[in-house]
Structure 1
Amino acid sequence: MTSPVWDPVQYLRHAGLRARPFADLLAHVPDLPAERPRIADLGCGPGTVTVALADRWPTAHITGYDNAPEMLAGAEAYAGPTPGGGTLDFAAADARTWTPDETHDLIISNATLQWVPGHPDRFSDWIAALAPGGTFAFQVPGNYDAPSHRVLRELAGADPRLAGTLRHQDAVRTPAEYHEALTSLGCEADVWETTYLHLLKGEDAVLDWVKGTALRPVLTALSGDPEARDTFLTAYRDQLREAYPATAQGTAFPFRRIFVVATVRG
Structure 2
Amino acid sequence: MPDWSPTAYLQFTDERSRPFHDLLSRVRTEPATIVDLGCGPGHLTTVLRTRWPAATVVGLDSSPAMIERARAHEPQDGVRYELADLRDVAHRRGPVTGADLVVSNAALQWAPDHRELLAPLAATAAQTFAFQVPGNHDAPSHLLLREVAARSPYTDVVGPVPRRATADPAEYLDLLAAPGWQVDAWETTYTHVLHGPDPVLRWISATGAQPVLHALQAHDPALRARFEAEYGAALREAYPEHPWGTPLQFRRVFVVATRT
TM-score, scaled to structure 1: 0.90
Among 193, 196, 205, the alignment partner of 2:199 is 205
Between the two structures, name the one with larger relative contact order (CA 8 Å, sep ≥ 6): 1
> Hey, what does 1:190 align to over in structure 2?
184
1:124/1:185 contact within 8 Å kept: no
CA distance in 2, matches of 1:236, 1:260: 33
Among 67, 89, 92, the alignment partner of 2:83 is 92
Distance change >3 Å, CA 70–CA 102, structure 1 → 2: closer
Distance change >3 Å, CA 185–CA 154, structure 1 → 2: farther
> Hey, what does 1:84 align to over in structure 2?
none
Alignment RMSD: 1.5
* CA drift at 1:221: 0.7
* CA drift at 1:128: 2.0
Among 109, 124, 131, the alignment partner of 1:138 is 131
Among 25, 47, 50, the alignment partner of 1:55 is 50
1:206/1:244 contact within 8 Å kept: yes
> Hey, what does 1:160 align to over in structure 2?
156
> Hey, what does 2:213 align to over in structure 1?
219
Where structure 1 has 5 or more consecutive residues not aligned to the other structure, the ranges are 82-86
Q: How many residues align?
A: 251
2:29/2:128 contact within 8 Å kept: no
Are 2:27 and 1:42 aligned?
Answer: no
CA distance in 2, matches of 1:237, 1:127: 39
2:110/2:164 contact within 8 Å kept: no
CA distance in 2, matches of 1:237, 1:21: 26
Are 2:75 and 1:79 aligned?
Answer: yes
Among 108, 133, 140, the alignment partner of 1:147 is 140
Distance change >3 Å, CA 53–CA 15, structure 1 → 2: same
Among 171, 176, 184, the alignment partner of 1:177 is 171
* CA drift at 1:185: 6.5
CA distance in 2, matches of 1:125, 1:256: 26
> Hey, what does 1:31 align to over in structure 2?
29
CA distance in 2, matches of 1:19, 1:93: 22
TM-score, scaled to structure 2: 0.92
Deviations 1:55-104 (A, max 9, x none): 111011100000111111110032341xxxxx100000111332445441
Distance change >3 Å, CA 157–CA 57, structure 1 → 2: same
CA distance in 2, matches of 1:187, 1:245: 44
Alignment of 1:92-131 (within 5 A): 92-99=83-90, 100=92, 102-131=97-126
CA distance in 2, matches of 1:188, 1:38: 20
CA distance in 1, matches of 2:240, 2:124: 47
Among 11, 14, 20, the alignment partner of 1:16 is 14
* CA drift at 1:160: 2.4
Distance change >3 Å, CA 80–CA 205, structure 1 → 2: closer
CA distance in 2, matches of 1:185, 1:92: 33
Where structure 2 has 5 or more consecutive residues not aligned to the other structure, the ranges are none
2:86 is paired with a residue whose SS is coil
1:117 is paired with a residue whose SS is coil
Instruction: In structure 1, give the amino acid aligned to 2:169.
Output: P
2:175 is paired with a residue whose SS is helix
